[in-house]
Amino acid sequence: MSAAIVNTIKQCGYFNQGQCLSCRHIQQPLAQQVAVKTQTLQQLLAPFIPANSVELFLPPITGDDSGFRNKAKMVVLGAAHEPVLGIISPSGEAVDLCDCLLYPADMQALLHRLTRFVQQAGLPPYRVDKAKGELKFILLTRSQVRGEYLLRFVLRSHNGIERIERELPALLAEYPQIKVVSVNIQPIHMAILEGDEEIFLTENTRLEERFNHVPLFIRPKSFFQTNPQVAAKLYQTAREWVAEFSPRSLWDLFCGVGGFGLHCASKDITLTGIEIEAEAIACAQMSAQMMGLENVSFMALDSTDFAKGKSAADKPDLIIVNPPRRGIGEALCQSLSEFAPKAILYSSCNPKTLAKDLEHIQGYHLTKVQLFDLFPHTDHFEVLAMLVKD
């Protein structure tokens, strides 16, 4: 890696030198990036917006342009005596990204310490070209509430575990804020990030986070928002929009660890959360327990299957959906249209699939749309859209 890298957020040296191109728009001011995103969103949703109703688009919500990211996915490169945590550049060189300014300063410092950890442990980085070595990735997640960490080592086999265990006490003594450490075994010679087997090296298995006083938990394999500052505003907005309908019953589909549902829940609301990943459901259940919520049921199921198994008599007052990039799909759109709740709150990370789904949700109209800039410097963003029964 070149020594003289100018690393300010508007001048990311890695980007300028073509070493990391992840932030395509980093050279544009954030306000300009958001203006372009807003235009894209308005164009995609134009078919669903009645004439003269642009006021339906509320002002976009933005956050910091650096230090906002809580998760680092580092490829481990180089050699055991000289490891590099980062990425392979487009030209094929190993690039150390410990100083990437998307991470808070304390996280950057810990990434440097982890580079030394790998060296001291003598863990050979996995070489994709030779199918040799042990350590594939280091995954680090930070909680904003207390600046604590979940640290994961992705290994090819069990061989490296002993070396990690040998060095771990010194690391944990120096960094008591590392609360959860695990090893994931990914034996397949492919660029997939993680395997099925997770071995915890600490007693703690989940990291506590807190958004707007709502306790949430981060587990190795459960989805968690990567921009806590803007995600907290997203959940808070959802809470306010939902409250306007005073629902007595609520479904949170694709609920993950429960962020939306738990923000909107109260002792008087019956909440049902549905999510495919069992570990995320266990986290949501723990949060509900901590909040003293009793009328809550979180289940590990496919959202479309869950909805298909329900009759119109079971319909809740309001349904929240927050699907992956592919959207909710035609079958679920049809079920939602048939249930006909008072309102549907759709949080989407892909406005193209949102627009497609809106074509298939019958009997509803948009009343509010807001853009949340969860992914600065990229083309991506989150949209919160409120649909009300005609």
Binding residues for ligand SAM, per CB under 6 A?
223, 225, 254-256, 259-260, 274-277, 280, 302-303, 322-324, 349
Binding partner at 177 among ligand SF4, ligand SAM, none, C-beta below 5 to 8 Å by kind: none
| Rounded least distance, CB 2 to ligand SF4, Å | 13
CB nearer to ligand SAM: give 309 or 363: 309
95 binds, among ligand SF4, ligand SAM, none (CB under 5 to 8 A by kind): none
From CA 99, how far away is CA 110, in angstroms rounded?
Answer: 10
What's the closest the beta carbon of residue 178 comes to ligand SAM, in angstroms?
23
Establish whether 349 is a catalytic residue: yes
100 binds, among ligand SAM, ligand SF4, none (CB under 5 to 8 A by kind): ligand SF4
Helix (H) or strand (E) holding 84, with range, is: strand 82-88
Nearest approach in angstroms of CB 34 to ligand SAM is: 21
Q: Which is nearer to ligand SF4, 26 or 154 (CB)?
A: 26
User: What is the rounded distance in angstroms from the CA atom of residue 202 to the CA atom of residue 200?
Assistant: 6
| 86 binding partner (options ligand SF4, ligand SAM, none; Cβ < 5 to 8 Å by kind) | none
Asked if residues 321 and 345 have their Cβ atoms less than 8 Å apart, the reply is yes
Question: Which residues in this chain contact ligand SF4 in the complex, by CB under 6 A?
Answer: 12, 14-15, 20, 22-23, 26, 97, 100-102
Residue 72 touches which of ligand SF4, ligand SAM, none (Cβ within 5-8 Å per kind): none
CB closer to ligand SAM, 10 vs 239: 239
Cα separations in angstroms, 125 against 91, 102, 133, 154: 19, 24, 5, 10
CB atoms within 10 A of CB 293: 19
Residues ≥6 apart with Cβ < 8 Å to 119: 80, 81, 82, 83
Token pair in block for residue 359: 């074509």
User: Helices 351-360 & 329-339, crossing angle to 10 degrees?
Assistant: 50
Q: How far is the CB of 201 from ligand SAM (least distance, A)?
A: 25
Residue pair 284/257 in contact (Cβ under 8 Å)? The answer is yes
* Min CB(223)–ligand SAM separation in Å: 4
The single residue of 20, 98, 283, 349 carrying the catalytic annotation is 349
CB of 23 to ligand SF4, least distance (A): 3
How far apart, in Å, are the Cα atoms of 98 and each of 86, 209, 236, 376?
Answer: 7, 23, 32, 19
Q: Which helix (H) or strand (E) holds 35?
A: helix 30-45
**Taking CB within 5 to 8 Å according to partner kind, which of ligand SAM, ligand SF4, none is near residue 101?**
ligand SF4
Measured from the CB atom, is 23 or 257 closer to ligand SAM? 257
Q: Give whichever of 102 and 168 is closer to ligand SF4, judged by the CB atom.
A: 102
Which residue matches tokens 């980093």?
Answer: 26
Both tokens of 336, joined, read: 């939602």
Assigned token pair, 366:
């948009």
**Which residue's CB is nearer to ligand SAM, number 44 or number 280?**
280
* CA distances (Å), origin 142, targets 47, 108, 145: 40, 11, 9
Per-residue tokens: 244? 């306007």
* Residue 97 vs 164, nearer CB to ligand SF4: 97
Min dist. Cβ of residue 312 to ligand SAM (A): 21
Nearest one of 324, 257, 314, 319 to 291, comparing CA atoms: 257
217 interface partner picked from ligand SF4, ligand SAM, none, CB below 5 to 8 A per type: none
Token pair for 351: 């406005």
Q: Please give the positions annotated as active site.
A: 349
